[in-house]
Chains A and B, each alone.
Chain A
């Protein structure tokens, strides 16, 4: 509890988290597509406020900390939603107009959970490798190798689809 890197004033805290709202919202939208994205964002901000004394700037950037909280709460939101409605086979937030995006989204459902998480974080939520490592709770090198495996598997899946 000794080091406090996050502001203690509510207004200052709001300013402090503002730059990270976009990445938080994108990650929440990708990891819990059936849940209310904005609800998750609000939960993240309140959780971060409550636990602000735990943020240690020596251990990482604010984005790293906030996105790890986002991943945790998005996982909980996904579990809550799962009780009420099954997850769609094809993620809904695909842009829709582009056929190849649909193929890609279908292929992504065949990835392992970790591979898909890495792809969602890096390509869709546009997180850095460092932030993705925080979300996945692993080393940056692991993220890179997971991404490489994911791309190789996607290539195989999409090639097989093209051959049909």
Chain B
């Protein structure tokens, strides 16, 4: 009887396929040279793109800037070098920060160490050529007072920083209003702590840092730039069979990023800018074996975020899709 069922299924499938229309032909004109454009949707967004282009020509302001508050001055305000992330790599004396007297900030290739008289705060940072900056602290040495584990360990002044600019040779870290939250003066020397010379030596610009500091490719035209407000919330990937806990990432309005791949939790911070620009850090995570998607890592690797209908599409620096998320 099982063999008979197999025959019935095979025959039914054959009959079904026999009445199916031919598949559509491939229209390679829908594949633009750099990244894909959804053929069917290209027309849908074409008027918007045209309107944006007209707005730029007439007013000099991109449409996305009108709806997405820019945390940093546009590039046209100064030379490109004013937003060179590599120029931030160094050992800096922190000034203009209340409660950080004597603090020294070491920014190496995306690792951050804040030397305080009591000890060190370690974390990560990212910056981009559009002036965005984000930093977070994930580890505090035992000698320094630690907040509770559920709190954000990033100091309040660093949580406020969403952008940077370099005024002459002095980098400034800016808050969302464009006001300086900290000034970085060259020549910082950490207090005499029991650290290895590698941890206290002035950092160098590595090839990895150079690669990651390259400007991100623009958002593909089939995506609508995701504004900061649009990004806030809890996001999930498609259903994954067999996993008891659904992976998620949550972007909160105060700039925190929290996520889980279903087995391992992680946290960090995020900032967003015009034209779908996105920067995020990700802290250390546990390493339990888990085949789930690590959504927080998608966010921390992303340089652009766009909306395709209800879906959030994360793209890397080359505008290649890292993943798609829905609200959940």
Chain A contact residues, CB within 8 Å of chain B? 1, 10-11, 13-14, 17-18, 21-22, 24-26, 29, 38-39, 41-43, 45-47, 49-51, 53-54, 72, 75-76, 93-95, 98, 100-101, 104-105, 114, 119, 123-126, 137, 148, 151-152, 154-155, 158-159
Do the beta carbons of A13 and B31 come within 8 Å of each other?
yes
What total of chain B residues lie within 8 Å of the partner, measured CB to CB?
A: 41
Excluding A24-B23, A53-B318, A123-B9, 7 further A-B contacts by CB distance (< 8 Å) are: A10-B29, A25-B24, A42-B30, A49-B30, A50-B220, A51-B321, A119-B9
Question: Contacts A119-B9, A123-B10, A124-B16; is A155 near B40 (CB within 8 Å)?
Answer: no
Closest to B239 in A: A75
Grouping DSSP codes into helix (H, G, I), strand (E, B) and loop, the A interface class, with mixed when no group exceeds half, is helix
Question: Contacts A47-B36, A53-B320, A155-B1; is A41 near B28 (CB within 8 Å)?
Answer: no
Question: Contacts A51-B320, A114-B241; is A126 near B13 (CB within 8 Å)?
Answer: yes
8 A-B pairs (CB sep. < 8 Å) = A1-B316, A42-B38, A45-B30, A93-B16, A94-B16, A101-B15, A137-B241, A148-B2
Within 8 A of A (CB), among B96-147: none
Question: Contacts A42-B39, A42-B40, A50-B220; is A98 near B28 (CB within 8 Å)?
Answer: no
Taking CB atoms, residues of chain A closer than 8 Å to B220 are 50
Bound-state CA distance A45–B38 (Å) is 9
Chain B contact residues, CB within 8 Å of chain A? 1-2, 4-6, 8-10, 12-13, 15-20, 23-33, 35-40, 220, 238-239, 241, 316, 318, 320-321
Taking CB atoms, residues of chain A closer than 8 Å to B6 are 151
